[in-house]
Structure 1
Amino acid sequence: MNVFDRNINFDALLKFSQISSSTQQHLKNVYSSLSLCMLVAAAGSYVHVVTRLFQGGFLSLLGSLGMMAWLAMTPHNQETEKQRLGILAGFAFFTGVGLGPAMDYVIAINPRDVAVPLVCGDVIFLLDAAPVLPGTLMSALSILLLVSLVNMFMGSVMLFKAHLYLGLLVMCGFVLFDTQLIIEKAELGDKDYIWHCVDLFLDFVTIFRKIMVILAMNEKDKKKEKK
């Protein structure tokens, strides 16, 4: 399996009305695996925030990368399916632990804000039927990079917030785009639902992080105004 193979016929991405029953089942498997990832990641975050048995940081990052590499090197077949699901769960767990420090920060400001990114993320994944052009996403990424470079010298809070909101919008677009790619790959015979789940899970994690930062910044601004 070449995990970097992105040779997709983009003209076929918009043909949602012609999805086969096997591809529909494939999508069910992808989203079932995604639900598993989200639950395990939540457990990983809980372990960091409440029990402190594992701390998010460099080691959790290494754990996530190691699990992803292991998953990529494990062939996709019926004999390895349970093993790969276990590796996927391990990847999600270490990713959840890695979210712990960000959750600590948000909890310190307002504990109620922790649940909001989860709800927003779920809504975003329920709205993944609209077509998104690849060129639009690439242009948006270029703008994000330019804003980041400019703000390295300016240190503007407004630019930082603009980068956050634009980045959140771009990631929503990538959820739609990655879902379309998964459909197209499945129609072409690639039914590796476990690896396809990784694409969407990484999108969700990025969205979750951005929403947490936005909520934390807004809460701090409210507290400043009250003073």
Structure 2
Amino acid sequence: MDSFASFFDSQSASRSRWSYDSLKNLRQISPVVQNHLKQVYLLLCCTLVTSAIGAYLHILFNIGGFLTTLGSIGCIIWMLSTPQYEEQKRVSLLMAAAAFQGASVGPLIELAIDFDPSILFSAFVGCAVAFGCFSAAAMVARRREYLYLGGLLSSGISILLWLQFATSLFGGSMALFKFELYFGLLVFVGYVVVDTQDIIEKAHFGDLDYVKHALTLFTDFVAIFVRILIIMLKNASEKEEKKKKRRN
């Protein structure tokens, strides 16, 4: 409870400090770190485009599934075990992992397109806006201000894993499924803030591995996008069912 209380106290303090001067907090980020962040976000954009290509390939050839998930995990492990000086190889492995990940999410994207293509567009825009806003909030905040939330978020991930394990064994209700969706969305939005500040802090201490940092943010982005898309699809299907019942 003390952690949650300190979190809300810090939020109120941050709001009271918010002004034009708070935007100048970016000055505490050195030019080297700023250049590193540019590389990270540029590579993140490339991974998102590659992931979209992977999803498109699934729509064309129906390749997404368990094997593409394994392929994505394999490429990530290979990339993380590759030395940093082999930069081109690591970037190529990240692109391959993104393509496999896009193909794995492809069935969900295909379902959204078949149901209503506007839902897919709205989910992506919503995810991009949320990701951008929380990343910007982490940048303009004081250094290390939100890093302590990492422990709470790790506990949240553990809760989600145990819930999924229990659901696989004993089955689950619709209420539990909704809780997992919304709680998971909250957790990964929090990870955007924590991971952004963690990347900045590591860069200040000389860790300029932009490939690994782009992978971290890519994972957060996909996790948020998938949950937003599922939530929007579910809400749209429920509205459609209600309309059919009214007509009958």
Instruction: Give the TM-score of the pair, scaled to structure 1.
Output: 0.84
1:28 matched to 2:44: no
Q: Equivalent of 2:54, from 44, 47, 62?
A: 44
1:56 maps to: 64
Q: Distance in 2 between matches of 1:202 and 1:151?
A: 24
Q: Distance in 2 between matches of 1:41 and 1:27?
A: 21
**Structure 1: which 5+ residue stretches go unaligned?**
1-14
1:198 matched to 2:204: no
Aligned residues: 210
1:221 maps to: 238
List 4+ stretches of structure 1 deviating above 3 A. Answer: 138-154
Q: Distance in 2 between matches of 1:209 and 1:112?
A: 15
Q: Compare the two structures and name the one with the higher helix fraction.
A: 2
Query: Which structure is richer in relative contact order (CA contacts within 8 A, separation 6 or more)?
Result: 1
**Structure 2: which 5+ residue stretches go unaligned?**
1-24, 139-144
User: What does the per-residue CA deviation read over 1:14-39, in whole Å, with 9 as the maximum and x for residues that have no partner?
Assistant: x8652211011111100000000000
User: What does the per-residue CA deviation read over 1:98-153, in whole Å, with 9 as the maximum and x for residues that have no partner?
Assistant: 11111122223222211122112211221122453223323433554565567664
1:114 matched to 2:124: no
> Aligned pair in 2 of structure 1 residues 115, 25: CA closer, same or farther (>3 Å)?
same
Identity of aligned residues (%): 42
1:140 maps to: 156
Q: Larger C-alpha radius of gyration, 1 or 2? A: 2
RMSD after superposition: 2.2
> Aligned pair in 2 of structure 1 residues 90, 142: CA closer, same or farther (>3 Å)?
closer
Q: Is this contact kept in 2: 1:45–1:96, CA < 8 A?
A: yes
Q: Distance in 1 between matches of 2:186 and 2:32?
A: 31
In the TM superposition, residue 154 of structure 1 has moved relative to its aligned partner by: 6.7
Q: Equivalent of 1:125, from 122, 131, 134?
A: 131
Q: Distance in 1 between matches of 2:171 and 2:73?
A: 33
Q: Equivalent of 1:163, from 180, 195, 198?
A: 180
Q: Distance in 2 between matches of 1:72 and 1:144?
A: 25
1:74 matched to 2:82: yes
Instruction: Give the TM-score of the pair, scaled to structure 2.
Output: 0.77
